[in-house]
Structure 1
């Protein structure tokens, strides 16, 4: 997700309140299941479109009011909340300054727009991170600050959940952390604990989405962290322990099928972004599961298709790897029916595949709402 960063500070919650919240949630957190979809997903349509709405910055695509978001969008990610420093865990969120974003509403008007969108059945969630928002929860104090500040923002605006869009160096694996089922790296374990705490605080209706890059998920099929030779990137596959630990809680995982290099698929071939076969191969990996770092003893189990969406740039302006409407829909049909596949054929069809994610709603509006209109119609059909 690409944008400049500009945020104003919000008041901190009392540290003691955060500690009490975290302690209560960690003692009551359920054990992770292998395939059960997050309960929040049952309150969404069978097919969903999720999109990011630029709310804290300007990047040339223009301000879009929540009231003007096309009805096809089911999940609206408010982008972005960012930390006061990469390791503080203390999140801040504010609307784009009026001089940078003409037409930006007041906070009261914005909150009213959120209420109105929710009344129309939309889920409005806080997206954390993005390209510039590095969030490394290295300490327990940072974990506690993340929980308390995220809760404050969610409560302030009456939001439905949180989206984790950690990029760059937010997540990595220590050299001796080699099993995604039992992670030991603090930035990974603290994030898992923080998200379990938020889930326990808000209950079954809490929406949890994630937007990792392919390097943090599918590349884990080939490399996991530094590997036994110590020469690989410690970020390779670093989202896998987070996804696995929270698979009982995740509403939607929409890996970014863009801004990616070639990735090795389950067919033993490398696939290039921007094509139908890339989306088929990348989605099939999380829908079928795969051996991590090529080791069958470390098999990453598949997610329920109801938890999976394909992440895409909404237009050529939005990022590398834009894929034409025809190619996206060909990939969708291949994955959901198992027929008419080209370049990559999944071992089985995944008719329950949940939907598509786009970066971003603003860029789609800039391009005439092609993504929402064409893909909304196709998924409904």
Structure 2
């Protein structure tokens, strides 16, 4: 597992949406408006609750029905209960209060194309009105209008300071299994580790809980999902992490790319997750001969991964949390070498085109400051693992940016401070590069990280 801190919130993104209004312009009361962004076999929905009364409300509940052909999967900024084809979304602890004239929103992904029916909010029609006092009947809107608008959908932003942990949920790592409900409250992001491919080139990802034979205290799937919901109810983000040391993923074909999008989406929908962590290591990414411009990559495994991540981001919207955990070899070593140019390793710097392409959608980059050889920093001096100097030098590179392979015409622009964290082992058993701190007593189940502003003192966090 791995913990991270970060220093400011992610900026909201603005996307175009198609609005299906469930409330006439003259409606009074509390209303709910449904909008969607369609994709191949479904859509991402945003429901906006507006308080058009003269008094604040302290909570809300939006209910509706779907036909059998459509169902809701992953959701955010709400809690969901379902009975058959009837869905009920209630507020989280941070967005239940709505002042007069104000609005809040939540979202979900739907499989199928039907719009919600029989919509009501707090017991009244979504078109506005007074909640019923003696009846539980629902009202179906009889008119709809379709318009195009832009506005800020729910964001995937994280708190100002964030701890991120890799929960070894699919295998026994020698130090014991942690049930989802027992994940430390200090964690803000929980990465389920790991989803792995059926083969290195298939693109098909699979995730399953640790077998009972390996993890005797593993919870049932129902309890596991309930634990995810409980963590999300506390404001935590739960992601699926893909790859790891043994999970080689090479998207060499468009068929593999499409299988990746489909299978990752299926995992996210099944468990109702908040996003994806790309933990590609080993030989998952490399650059073909002649692919020398990180801003315009041509290597299929790079191009197809970028396309897949963009498809997932488009499908799940602005609330989708996207993180990456590369090794220094794939990022900072690009300052000296890029791909196989000059007879080097084709993997050097191979993450740079992916980071560049996804920089506007990237929530957090936490390069692994361990299992690394000496790396040349911006001072043109080599820095070694195991001390604060290494973390400062490596972090400085991704914040300040650098010329790739020393070519000033191919400059990798630094990321925002809120997008950068530092990855380091929590204990000597967790990976080469352990950095001693007064609080370095964490279990080997955990890899830790801390965030730092450029050239600021490093603060370590452990679980």
Q: CA shift at 1:324, angstroms?
A: 1.6
Give structure 2 stretches of 5+ with no counterpart: 3-38, 45-153, 441-448
Inter-CA distance 222–119: structure 2 relative to 1 (3 Å threshold): same
Residues 1:234 and 2:346 aligned together: yes
User: Could you tell me which residue of structure 2 aligns to residue 303 of structure 1?
Assistant: 415
Deviation at 1:67, TM superposition (A): 1.5
Tell me the CA shift for residue 268 of structure 1: 0.6
Matches for 1:40-189 after TM superposition, within 5 Å: 40-42=155-157, 44-189=158-303
Please name the residue that 1:29 is paired with: none
Coordinate RMSD, CA, aligned: 2.5
CA distance in 2, matches of 1:146, 1:164: 12
The equivalent of 2:18 in structure 1 is none
- Find the aligned partners of 2:201 and 2:311 in 1 and give their Cα distance: 19
* 2: CA distance, partners of 1:237 / 1:160: 28
Query: Shift of the alpha carbon at 1:285?
Result: 0.3
Q: Which of 1 and 2 has greater Rg? A: 2
Q: Distance in 2 between matches of 1:208 and 1:339?
A: 25
Deviation at 1:315, TM superposition (A): 1.3
Tell me the distance in 2 between the aligned counterparts of 1:225 and 1:211: 19
Moved over 4 A (4+): 337-341
Matched, 1:324 2:407: no
Q: Please list the CA deviations of residues 166-214 of structure 1 after superposition, one character each: whole Å capped at 9, or x if unmatched.
A: 0110000001100000000000000000000000000000000000000
Provide the C-alpha distance between the structure 1 equivalents of 2:291 and 2:165, rounded to a whole number of angstroms. 34
Q: 2:462 aligns with which of 366, 371, 379?
A: 371
**How far apart, in 1, do the equivalents of 2:252 and 2:274 lie?**
27
Aligned to 1:215: 329
> Secondary structure of the equivalent of 2:428?
coil
Shift of the alpha carbon at 1:337?
A: 7.6
Q: Report deviation, 1:124.
A: 0.3
Distance 1:41 1:307 in 2: 12
Structure (1 or 2) with the greater helix fraction: 1
1:251 equivalent among 363, 370, 376 = 363
Please give the per-residue CA displacement for 1:105-157, whole angstroms capped at 9, x wherever unaligned.
11111000000000011100000000000000000000000000000000000
Q: Flag the structure with higher strand content.
A: 2
Q: Is the 8 A contact 2:329 2:349 kept in 1?
A: yes
- Secondary structure of 2:334 counterpart: helix
Seen in structure 2, the aligned counterparts of structure 1 residues 200 and 340 have a Cα distance that, compared at 3 Å, is: closer
Answer yes or no: is the 8 Å Cα contact 2:243–2:249 preserved in 1. yes
Partner SS for 2:408: strand
Q: How many residues align?
A: 310
SS of 1:286's equivalent in the other structure is helix
Aligned to 1:270: 382
> Is the 2:423–2:450 contact (alpha carbons within 8 Å) kept by the matching residues of 1?
no
- In 1: Cα distance, 2:457 partner to 2:315 partner: 45
The answer to whether the 8 A contact 1:216-1:236 is kept is: yes
